[in-house]
Amino acid sequence: MKSAFFGPFLSARTRTVASMTTATIDFEPEFQRVLDYQHGLVTARQLRGLGISTRQIQHMVESGQWSTVLHGVYAVTNGPLDRPMTLWAALLFGGPRAILSHRTAAEEWALVPVDPAGPIHVTVPYGLSAEPQGPTYRKAGRRSDRPVPREGDLLHPGVVVHRSRAHAHILVPTLLPRTSLADTVVNLAVEEPSAPEAARVVVAAVTGSSVSVHELLRRIEQRPPRRYRKALTDALSFVVGGVQSILEHRYAVDVETAHGLPTARRQSPVLVDGQTLYEDVDYSDSGVPLIVRLDGLRYHSSRSVALRDRRRGNAAELAGKATLVYGWEEVTRRSCDVAAEVRAVLERGGWSGSNPCPRCREYLLTSGG
């Protein structure tokens, strides 16, 4: 029986592995094609379709020549699984319509680092019976005189199964099928424990990858997420308004909006030494010449960058614009203090506005201010 994933993929490694076991099973060309394409992995159903009995499968496993990777999924090797084998095993376990999704798809899209100990996430259409499976650990062959890996070692980190009614619309038919980049971002955000963290996921994705704001908004409209919809669309609105990093988004939400400060102009152009540079936050439209610069780096990566920032700061000063500079620690941990400093400069320039921040009001009440 052919897998839905068969294709013209050849692997010298699986041919070598197969030749080690021919004393027990005669590998037909069709079987070899299965192993080549699936990185040395095969399902019990495929094996039965190729005329290999349950008794033969059991012998190969118990002799230590094969490994039971997941329920009904075998590796024709007793060695460790590499990344493609781990992913293939999860797809075969999920069935012919399973696709990589959520955290695993995000790893494949390079949105997040690979977690080798984390479970593999797959999505299947509604109505299929695939169930999650926990990690599997290696078992020593009971009738083998050949060396085998240590019993109890992690063999596969397990599979998390999701279901989707829009399965056909979220699929990208890569060699290892997965959810589209936009769908992956939305799924990743919805899995976060809070709305602010979900918003940071979409901002990081838009500012750090090739996914577009409009594609994400379209996906959210077509497939409304089960939670955080407003937080996600609001975050994307900030990006449309010029926010270009997670730090800028945190400033816009936690400092500016939360404290009733005027909406600043983002990425305001300024000419420095004949070159157009951009200021992160410019309050000139509110009538006060104030620049807020957000430094997301702990140190400058080069002397040229440091020189550029010094020249930009001097240009702002020469233009009569006050400049405040904040980093990640101040914006994320001391947002009320940052807002108070920005407010002080704005009020000094004639701007006035109320502060809706409950933490600030509580502080004023307790301090008698």
Comparing CA positions, the residue from 197, 233, 231, 236 lying closest to residue 213 is: 236
Q: How far apart are CA 209 and CA 207, in angstroms?
A: 6
Residue recorded with tokens 């094969």: 66
For the whole model, what pTM was predicted?
0.78
| pLDDT by 10s per residue, the chain, length 369 | 333 333 333 344 444 334 434 345 655 788 888 888 999 999 999 999 888 889 999 999 988 889 999 999 999 988 889 999 999 999 999 999 999 999 999 999 999 999 999 999 999 998 887 789 999 998 765 555 555 556 678 999 999 999 998 988 999 999 899 999 999 999 999 999 999 999 999 999 998 888 999 999 999 999 999 999 999 999 999 999 999 899 999 999 999 999 999 999 999 888 888 888 888 999 999 999 999 998 865 444 456 666 677 777 777 777 888 999 999 999 999 999 999 999 999 999 999 999 999 999 876 666 655
DSSP assignment of 101-142, as one string? -HHHHHHHTTSS---TTSPEEEEEETT-----B--EE----T
Alpha helix locations (H) across 20-82?
29-37, 44-49, 54-62
Which residues, 6+ apart, have CB-to-CB distance to 210 below 8 Å?
A: 181
Q: List the structure tokens of 334.
A: 């001391």
